[in-house]
Structure 1
Amino acid sequence: MSDEQTSNPAQRIRPFRQAKASPETLKRLKQHLGVLSTVALKHLDQSLPWYRGLRPEERAALGLVAQKGIASFVSWYERPTTSPQWVLNDVFGAAPTELTRSISLQKALQLIRTIVEVVESQVPDIAPEAEHTQLREAVLRYSREVAFAAADVYARAAETRGAWDSRLEALVVDAVMRGESQDSLRSRIAAVGWKSHENILVMIGATPASSQVGFVSELRRAAARYARDSLVGVHGERAILMLGGVEADRAGLDRLATFFGEGPVVYSPLAPTLKEASASAKAAFAAIAAAKAWPLAPRPVDADDLWPERVMNNDSEAREALVSGIYKPLIKAGNGLIETLSSYLSLGHSLEGTARELFVHANTVRYRLKRVCDVTGWDPLVPREAFVLQTALVVGRLDAETTEILSETRQSVPRKSLTTL
């Protein structure tokens, strides 16, 4: 043999050749099947305390696996094979679900070890002395194949469980988006281990181009630093992160936004309870649909900061928010705030021009604009916030109810008094 051939480990390894069992040994093995199964189950009960603590149906399932394993060994010993697939089908095919639900992989391997010890202890009674070594080696090789098959069963069960958990998370997120009844939502959300009932927030962005599985696990792990509970749902090209018991500040949201793909990322208003979570989530969905209209928006951006774009995208909730959150408070505040804001915006944000238009001092204009900020939370001196305020004026004027309120206010307040401040 050449040096090149001897240097290749794969060429030096020879396939295992199982010595053929004698007809007498095979006959005695088949005769001892019942004895081996009985002794194995008795030994399991005596040597494994956790086995005694199982429910009857769980012990029956494991007993079936043990009996199948011993019977399969006899068939394999008669016709040895190098393929481990038969072990998975023959031994664990009867009760893989019951096995993974009843015991852990560590306990399953303890069960296999116990059965192997029982079979080895019976070798002197089954085979002649000349075949003791051969039979013991066969038992050890068979136990190795069974152990690998058990690991495969548990690995597949873990993959299935992980896939099911992801689907269940996506269903819960979808239920929140659709605003399902509280009873149904509580039942679904409890199934995924969700415990928070306050401070709920939803973030939406694009899924990254990288592996979706890795993205979900990384996002969930990062979210644990900023919230007590988190759910991740992937809807096509969009990823949805639902947080409960949020404790994060803006810096935390900025960190979470880095896990999403390219494009805008929005977050919803903070829902005080689970009941309001659906409306909060819908606001985030409406915002992500309109976010492209504001290319310079921060990342992530508050869904409420996109009220103007959402209104232009036919979002009735944003329209109502502008009227109830900005326009109506300005009307009720009086003191010429509506007139001052309208003039200031229409005259190109000029304090002097507004003062001349209203026949007041420029400081009066500054005071009224500061009052607008105090009443609405939006500063007309900031260009983007001035755009939000201007949209609120347009929407409010088109609203029939607010038009009537404004008309009544103007009739009750003399024109002269509007220019006294």
Structure 2
Amino acid sequence: MTEGRTRHAGRPGIGEQTVRAIEQATGRLATQSVARMDEELPWFRELPSDQRSWVTLVAQSGLQSFVEWLRTPDDVLHLTGGVFAAAPTAMARSVTLQQTVELVRTAIAVAEANLPTLAAGSDVPVVREELLRFSREIAFAAARVYATAAENRGSWDRRLEALVIDNLVRGSVVGDPLPSQLAALGWRETGPIFAVAGAAPDGPGDLILAAAHSRTRRLGADLMAGVHGDRLIVVVGGAADPDDVAAHLLPAFGDGPVVIGPLAPDIEHAPLVTQVALSALRAVPGWPAAPRPVHADALLPERALADDAEARTRLVVDVYAPLVAAGGSLVETVAAFLDAGGALEATARALFVHANTVRYRLRRVAEVCGESPTDPRGALTLQVALVLGRLETAR
């Protein structure tokens, strides 16, 4: 012992009087630290009062842990890990890891500046060295806290995302409104959205979804995805070109058809676009030569035959009704052309008109409803639309 001072049982070379002085000053040092944070860190000044109080508690807990560190040098993990127990886990979502490091650096700087008034002259170098070592361990502890929070957040996000996709598959959203659920998932876009559906590849669900998220993130778009049975369903927001996004997403799907749902104006239509994409996926086997990916609108005939009410309505409203409204015997002409197996001369004879008249009317059909009778897919669409339109008229 030197000059009658009691030596400390913990860190060698540090007197008990120094440790007590630091312990008694923890409250004052924490207040000074928060005051300096308020002066030097603009983002800290903008924090709500409850979050600022959390930081004060953490600073005070950190200084108290430093005192215990000096007394029990072997209990590193317990001491540094307990520093952040003073704040709720929500703090990890409102204060970033980088900001936490700034807070720790500020608190350590304040403590170091006060060392000459707290420690005996011969203790100052040793306490300063221990303070630097302690700050390093605190940084590691902060990293562990944020890593755990990120892991828990990821598990929660996956569960919420699975719930949202499950509700969309059923065509409804239960509980919180969909925008609230998406905000919790970090969804930023409020503009157009669409859905892509196809077979899920083999492998763990987490890896399948991670691949889909990774591919969409590169395009700067928002995404939620889920594996539902043997299907992978992806809802995308904020993408200007659905075809481009779908092309990037193709490797994330398994073998088989991939369907692009219609573009909707906002997220409120997410249940509708998801239902349409799934309906098209169920109907796509009816068109073995369908491109990959294929738009749901290109599968209107197959969807209608598979009892999709929305597709039936679209064919009547968008194809049959415009032809009837246009007049000029367009419905009669296209019906005769289809009945004649696409033979121009046979159609002209059946209608008692010149072949050029038939050609003109067929061009008008394509202009009016967007489907050409001379194209095989257009002819199929028109054939189904005529049948549905006649049934609707009869009813």
Q: Aligned in 2, Cα 1:394/1:38: closer, same or farther, shift over 3 Å?
A: same
Q: Secondary structure at the match of 2:380?
A: helix
User: Computing the radius of gyration over CA atoms, which structure comes out larger, 1 or 2?
Assistant: 1
Return the letter of the residue paired with 2:213. Answer: V
Q: How does 1:295-334 map to 2 (within 5 A)?
A: 295-334=288-327
Look up the match of 1:393. 386
Of 210, 215, 238, the match for 2:212: 215
**Alpha-carbon RMSD:** 3.7
Look up the match of 1:242. 236
Of 182, 190, 195, the match for 1:196: 190
Look up the match of 2:53. 60
* 2:165–2:233 CA contact under 8 A, matched in 1: no
Look up the match of 1:231. 223
Could you tell me how far 1:382 is from its partner in structure 2?
A: 1.0
Asked whether 1:370 is paired with 2:378, we answer: no
Return the letter of the residue paired with 1:354. Answer: T
Q: Aligned in 2, Cα 1:324/1:123: closer, same or farther, shift over 3 Å?
A: closer
Identity between Structure 1 and Structure 2 (%): 40
Of 266, 269, 278, the match for 2:262: 269
Q: Secondary structure at the match of 1:203?
A: strand
Cα offsets for 1:320-345 (capped at 9, x unmatched):
22223223333444544444433433
Q: Please, what TM-score do these two structures have when normalized by structure 1?
A: 0.73
Cα offsets for 1:165-214 (capped at 9, x unmatched):
56666666666663559x944555566554535x5433333456665324
Could you tell me how far 1:358 is from its partner in structure 2?
A: 4.0
Return the letter of the residue paired with 1:378. Answer: E
Q: Please, what TM-score do these two structures have when normalized by structure 2?
A: 0.77
CA distance in 2, matches of 1:275, 1:55: 32
Asked whether 1:348 is paired with 2:357, we answer: no
* 1:337–1:372 CA contact under 8 A, matched in 2: yes
Q: Secondary structure at the match of 1:97?
A: coil
Q: Aligned in 2, Cα 1:43/1:73: closer, same or farther, shift over 3 Å?
A: closer
Q: Aligned in 2, Cα 1:36/1:300: closer, same or farther, shift over 3 Å?
A: same
Return the letter of the residue paired with 1:375. Answer: V
Could you tell me how far 1:91 is from its partner in structure 2?
A: 0.9
Look up the match of 2:68. 75
Q: Aligned in 2, Cα 1:239/1:141: closer, same or farther, shift over 3 Å?
A: same
Look up the match of 2:373. 380
CA distance in 2, matches of 1:275, 1:43: 47
Could you tell me how far 1:304 is from its partner in structure 2?
A: 1.5
Q: Secondary structure at the match of 1:113?
A: helix
CA distance in 1, matches of 2:13, 2:119: 11
Structure 1 stretches of 5 or more lacking a match?
1-18, 225-229, 405-421
Could you tell me how far 1:402 is from its partner in structure 2?
A: 1.5
Q: Aligned in 2, Cα 1:109/1:186: closer, same or farther, shift over 3 Å?
A: closer
Return the letter of the residue paired with 1:217. Answer: S
CA distance in 1, matches of 2:162, 2:245: 21
* 2:304–2:312 CA contact under 8 A, matched in 1: yes
The worse-fitting range, judged by mean Cα deviation, of 27-36 and 317-326 is 27-36
Look up the match of 1:3. none
Q: Aligned in 2, Cα 1:61/1:138: closer, same or farther, shift over 3 Å?
A: same
CA distance in 2, matches of 1:53, 1:190: 22
Structure 2 stretches of 5 or more lacking a match?
1-8
CA distance in 1, matches of 2:37, 2:384: 77
CA distance in 2, matches of 1:376, 1:173: 34
